[in-house]
């Protein structure tokens, strides 16, 4: 895309690093920091003010931080108070509400909606149309597939919010719904269209509506079609874009 520097609005106390590109019709609100080599595409809003901005004369804009070498694609809205690590990437038309923290090398797919006050780990991949409720937490290397919903209200409507927690290396397949306060361990797999509530231990294969623990995931008859071996734990069979790419998960893990 071309960066024409047309109709770009930049607020007060904004820090923009070296080699940052900003697309047309983009608004950068007050107290935003954008680190070096990042790209903000057309029609984005970075540091969208919180609701008090519209009603409170004493409103103070929280700081928003975009990490180095990030790519935020067109029509995204990122609310104030967020912190985003290096190599953060979005698809198009993503909304990320206030005070969300996202680690490095994490990608959020098109049309995702993160409802704020979430803590998202490193090397996460959220595919398109994922909805993440407030107070949700994910570890590192968590993949969430299209149309997954993480809920947070145990007795809707109420003022009580209990977010979902997902451990490192877990995979949430398409159209699964995770109920409030659900806790998923490390190296788990939730099958498509499951409705999941409760606590599940590490290495669980989870499925159904309501979902149950089917078996240990590393004993599940789920075969990698390239190697003809058991696919899980998946890091031994998948490395694209991962820090163990080209060296293998076992060797990488031994160096940690």
- What's the pLDDT tens digit per position in 25-66? 999 999 999 999 999 999 999 999 999 999 999 999 999 999
Is residue 66 in some structural domain?
Answer: yes
- Listed in sequence order, the residues at least 6 apart from 158 whose beta carbon sits closer than 8 Å to its beta carbon are none
Q: Round to whole Å and give the CA distance between 178 and 80.
A: 27
Element (H, E) at 251: helix 249-255
Domain of residue 16: give its range: 9-255
Is residue 191 in some structural domain?
Answer: yes
| Mean pLDDT across the chain | 96
Q: In the predicted model, is pLDDT for residue 1 greater than 70?
A: no
- pLDDT category at 255 given cuts 50, 70, 90 is confident
The 10 Å Cβ neighbour count of residue 159 is 6
Q: Give the chain's radius of gyration (CA, Å).
A: 19
- Listed in sequence order, the residues at least 6 apart from 213 whose beta carbon sits closer than 8 Å to its beta carbon are 200, 201, 204, 205, 206
Is residue 3 in some structural domain?
Answer: no
Is residue 1 in some structural domain?
Answer: no
Is residue 166 in some structural domain?
Answer: yes
- Listed in sequence order, the residues at least 6 apart from 21 whose beta carbon sits closer than 8 Å to its beta carbon are 3, 38, 39, 40
Q: In the predicted model, is pLDDT for residue 72 greater than 70?
A: yes
- What is the number of structural domains in the chain? 1
Is residue 125 in some structural domain?
Answer: yes
- Listed in sequence order, the residues at least 6 apart from 41 whose beta carbon sits closer than 8 Å to its beta carbon are 1, 23, 26, 71, 72, 73, 74, 76
pLDDT at 191: 98
We report the CATH number of the domain holding residue 174 as 2.160.10.10
- Listed in sequence order, the residues at least 6 apart from 142 whose beta carbon sits closer than 8 Å to its beta carbon are 121, 124, 125, 166, 167, 168, 169, 170, 171, 172
123-136 per-position pLDDT tens digit: 999 999 999 999 99
Report percent pLDDT > 70 for the chain. Answer: 100
214-250 per-position pLDDT tens digit: 999 999 999 999 889 999 999 999 999 999 999 999 9
Is residue 36 in some structural domain?
Answer: yes
- pLDDT category at 5 given cuts 50, 70, 90 is confident
144-179 per-position pLDDT tens digit: 999 999 999 999 999 999 999 999 999 999 999 999
Is residue 2 in some structural domain?
Answer: no
């Amino acid at each position: 895309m071309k960066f024409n520097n047309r109709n770009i609005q930049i607020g007060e106390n904004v820090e923009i690093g070296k080699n940052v590109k900003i697309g047309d019709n983009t608004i950068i609100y007050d107290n935003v920091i954008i680190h070096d080599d990042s790209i903000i595409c057309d029609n984005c809003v970075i540091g969208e003010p919180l609701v008090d901005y519209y009603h409170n004369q004493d409103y103070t804009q929280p700081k928003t931080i975009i990490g180095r070498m990030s790519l935020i694609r067109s029509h995204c809205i990122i609310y104030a108070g967020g912190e985003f690590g290096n190599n953060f990437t979005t698809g198009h038309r993503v909304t990320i509400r206030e005070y969300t923290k996202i680690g490095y090398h994490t990608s959020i797919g098109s049309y995702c909606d993160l409802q704020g006050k979430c803590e998202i780990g490193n090397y996460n991949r959220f595919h398109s149309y994922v909805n993440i409720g407030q107070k949700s937490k994910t570890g590192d290397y968590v993949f969430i597939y299209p149309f997954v919903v993480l809920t947070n209200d145990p007795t809707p409507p109420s003022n009580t919010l209990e977010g979902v927690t997902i451990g490192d290396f877990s995979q949430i397949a398409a159209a699964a719904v995770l109920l409030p306060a659900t806790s998923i361990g490390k190296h788990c797999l939730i099958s498509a269209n499951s409705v999941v509530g409760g606590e599940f231990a590490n290495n669980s294969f989870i499925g159904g509506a309501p979902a149950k623990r089917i078996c240990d995931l590393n004993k599940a008859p789920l075969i990698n079609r390239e190697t003809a071996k058991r696919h899980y734990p998946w890091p031994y069979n998948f490395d694209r874009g991962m820090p163990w790419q080209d060296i293998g998960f076992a060797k990488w893990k031994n160096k940690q």
